[in-house]
Structure 1
Amino acid sequence: MGNLRHKRTTVSSQFEEEPDGGGFWGWLLLGVIILVILIAAS
């Protein structure tokens, strides 16, 4: 669990424009992009 939290903190630092939940939106956007690619590839 601690490792995941550290990862999320690292991702959050890449979204400094949105310090509040920036990591969450970063992961959400990444998930949507992957989902679209998977749907398009199938």
Structure 2
Amino acid sequence: ATIIAQKPKMRDYIDTMRKNVADTLGIELDQVNIKATTEEGLG
């Protein structure tokens, strides 16, 4: 998944979000990829 947001900075939360998604779906952590970016440079 890719998250587009200006604030808050997602960097500090990505590992926790990956673990929560993996646990919820019952899959391995290495099967979950979450990226974060801003709107800067898009469009």
Q: Which one has the bigger helix percentage? A: 1
TM-score, normalised to structure 1, is 0.36
* Structure whose alpha-carbon radius of gyration is higher: 1
Q: Which one has the bigger strand percentage? A: 2
TM-score, normalised to structure 2, is 0.35
